Amino acid sequence: MNAVLNERLNAIATQLGKLPHGGKTPFLQAEAEKLGMSVAKLYKELERVMVKPQRKRRADAGKTALELKDAQMISALIMETMRKNGKRLMTVERAVEILIANKEIDPVRVDKETGECFTLSTSTIVRGLRLYKLHPDQLLQPAPVTSLQSLHPNHVWQIDASLCVLFYLPVSGKDTGLRMMNADEFYKNKPKNVVKIEQDRVWRYVVTDHCSGCLFVWYVFGGENSENLCETFIQAMQPKAERLQDPFCGVPVNVMLDPGSANTGHGFKHLNKQLGVNVIINKVGNPRAKGQVENANNLVETQFESGLRMVRISSIEQLQGLANRWMRYFNGQKIHSRHGMSRYKAWQKIMPEQLIIPPPTEYCRELVLSKPEERKINPDLTIDFGGRKYDVSGVPSVMAREKITVSKNPWKQFSVQVQRWDGWDENGKETWLEVPEIVVNGFGFRQDAAVIGQEYKAHADTQAQTNAKELEKLAMQADTLEQAEQNRKAKALPFGGRIDPFAHQEQALADDKVGYMPKRGTQMDYNKMDVQTAVLSKFELAKMLKPRVEAQGGDWAVALQRLQTNYHNGATESELDKVLDVITRPTLKLLKTGTDG
């Protein structure tokens, strides 16, 4: 029936292509009625059997009217407003509106054929973003996975801590051994029960050698902290008790960890600095970087811890003993898919110069607590450390009076090493250089010191001295130091006088288009101000006027009487001259005249 229907449909399709415009609908209605189906159903069946012509590629395919700089601004604004969890808070349309309002982009274009202006639509902008590979969906795609390799066994170790989900140690009651966590008692909706036993749960540290795939497991209490990490690392490096069955040991060249607080803590850093191990902290959100140790944790859970359900564990030491036996079995018997050998067999390919045996366990623990210390470099390019002197003149870029970080040398007694950075700052690669101890003769002089009158020894220029000489030539516009000295003696202006130290002020004032409108104020009514002047009492007036009266040869007793009479309530300081005149004025005498004139 399907073959007959398909043949009939093909015939209808052929006939349909020959009909003129306006004649197709009646034809299809008649054919649908004959087949006992609706016109819509007939259309659907015809689409199934008809061969559709290939759509012609647009002439402007692969092109966009959106300019690259505008696409970059739109994409940058959307990405900046995104949440850390990747949720987008701003749409393309909203971003375009904001950027247009701030005159950061111009969406107006001119049609080259018609000369008409038009505005880019949101859909056109979205297509442009995708064409430029700037759409947020494209930018948020994970980066391509890069294959990593290590050069030899012990070249790279990876360390990761994970919670042992099977056991915890009760801290009260008669039960003093490890036992299973009851799922009903500690499921996710009962967080208080989990918090109560948080410090008593067993944590698992796994160390893997990236090249051979050897793995080392160490169980601890107390969670993921610096102490547990250091102890795990020390135990992994130490030669094992049964070395013939468990050969894995040695100091790695590099160690990779996640950026946790314990992993970046001072204790672990100090230990690795002393041992010369390069610590590589993975970027946040990049679990692939140490995928091997992540997989190793899964192997421990499925291959070892899954069998603990059938065993009664009485202590963490017993648990570690079972883990040690399982490690010897797994590393020695199971074939690794990458290199086709057992992990121990692959590790055995390590060369003698690549296998660095660490200091004993107790000394390694001392190194954790032995912090590198800062010392100031003496003018003769020496440092004092531990009661001894050491020569740092051979350290690159060293300068007198600067501070340098010094630590004990874990491989040699009475020896120290100094910290250096391969680069301009602490973002470069860290290195540690051994510096020699200064040997003195019986008179306390350095054995390598220059003998007076016989030889002359000078330190090579430090980096600061070299830089200072170059800056002198630059400032004096000279090719040699001699020419620079001559220019400075001739009072030549620095930089040839081409630098105007006040140019920025002139530019700022010229570019300042702000005008300040005069503000209307209120005039002070200074004519009505009531200024109160201090009034001096008659005693204060007497004290001030007595010397002046006596200096004029006046009678102070008479003057005092007049003062008490006329100025009982005192007077102001500004009236002193007037008061003096009143109390020293001569007395007038009236004379009687005769009747005869």
At 84-117, the pLDDT tens digits run 656 667 788 888 888 888 888 887 776 666 666 7
Please tell me whether residue 109 adopts helix, strand or coil conformation.
strand
Above 60 in pLDDT, residue 529?
no
Q: Hey, what are 175's tokens?
A: 């039960």
Cα 520-526-532 angle, rounded to 5 deg: 140
pLDDT recorded at residue 235: 93
Name which of 124, 83, 77, 127 is nearest 97 in CA terms. Answer: 77
d(CA 183, CA 193): 11
Domain positions in the chain are: 2-49, 68-139, 156-364, 372-435, 535-583
pLDDT band at residue 428 under the 50/70/90 scheme: low
Name which of 28, 351, 46, 327 is nearest 206 in CA terms. Answer: 327
d(CA 315, CA 3): 76
pLDDT recorded at residue 7: 81
At 477-515, the pLDDT tens digits run 888 888 888 888 888 888 888 877 777 777 788 887 777
Cα torsion angle, 154, 269, 422, 276, sign:
negative
Whether the Cβ atoms of residue 221 and residue 203 lie closer than 8 Å to each other: yes
pLDDT recorded at residue 591: 47
Name which of 159, 245, 146 is nearest 210 in CA terms. Answer: 159
Above 50 in pLDDT, residue 23?
yes
Compute the average pLDDT of residues 7-15: 84
Backbone angles phi, psi at 521, to 5 degrees: -120, 180
Characterize the bridge pairing of strands 215-220 and 201-209. antiparallel
Comparing 567 with 286, which gets the higher pLDDT? Answer: 567
Half-sphere exposure at residue 426, Cβ-oriented, CA atoms within 13 angstroms: 3
Characterize the bridge pairing of strands 117-119 and 108-110. antiparallel
At 577-588, the pLDDT tens digits run 888 888 888 765
Compute the average pLDDT of residues 388-409: 80
Q: Which of 39-48, 119-128, 241-250, 288-297 has the lowest mean pLDDT?
A: 288-297
pLDDT recorded at residue 238: 92
pLDDT recorded at residue 500: 79
Question: Which neighbouring-strand residues pair with 189?
Answer: none
Characterize the bridge pairing of strands 403-408 and 416-422. antiparallel
DSSP 260-315: -TTTTSHHHHHHHHHHTPEEEEPPTT-GGGGHHHHHHHHHIIIIIGGGGGGS----
Q: Which of 245-249, 288-292, 538-542 has the lowest mean pLDDT?
A: 288-292
Residue 265: partners with Cβ closer than 8 Å, 6 or more residues away: 226, 229
At 436-458, the pLDDT tens digits run 888 777 777 777 777 787 765 55
Measured CA to CA in angstroms, residue 76 lies from 66, 99, 122 at distances of 15, 11, 16
Q: Average pLDDT, whole number, for the chain?
A: 78
pLDDT recorded at residue 186: 44
Backbone angles phi, psi at 155, to 5 degrees: -80, -40
C-alpha 478 chain-centroid distance: 41
How many other CB atoms are there within 10 angstroms of residue 372's CB atom?
20
Helices (H), 197-243: 226-237
Above 70 in pLDDT, residue 43?
yes
Above 90 in pLDDT, residue 171?
no
Above 50 in pLDDT, residue 176?
no
Residue 216: partners with Cβ closer than 8 Å, 6 or more residues away: 206, 207, 208, 235, 236, 248, 327
Above 70 in pLDDT, residue 270?
yes
Comparing 426 with 349, which gets the higher pLDDT? Answer: 349
Residue 434: partners with Cβ closer than 8 Å, 6 or more residues away: 409, 412, 415, 416, 417
Above 70 in pLDDT, residue 34?
yes
Q: Which of 54-68, 241-255, 289-303, 544-558 has the lowest mean pLDDT?
A: 54-68
pLDDT recorded at residue 346: 93
Comparing 468 with 379, which gets the higher pLDDT? Answer: 379
Compute the average pLDDT of residues 365-373: 75
C-alpha 182 chain-centroid distance: 42
Q: Which of 16-25, 138-147, 323-332 has the lowest mean pLDDT?
A: 138-147
pLDDT recorded at residue 44: 86
Comparing 408 with 198, which gets the higher pLDDT? Answer: 408
40-45 contacts: CB < 8 A, separation 24 or more?
Answer: 42/12, 45/5, 45/9
pLDDT recorded at residue 199: 53
pLDDT recorded at residue 212: 93
CATH annotation of 156-364? 3.30.420.10
Compute the average pLDDT of residues 293-322: 85
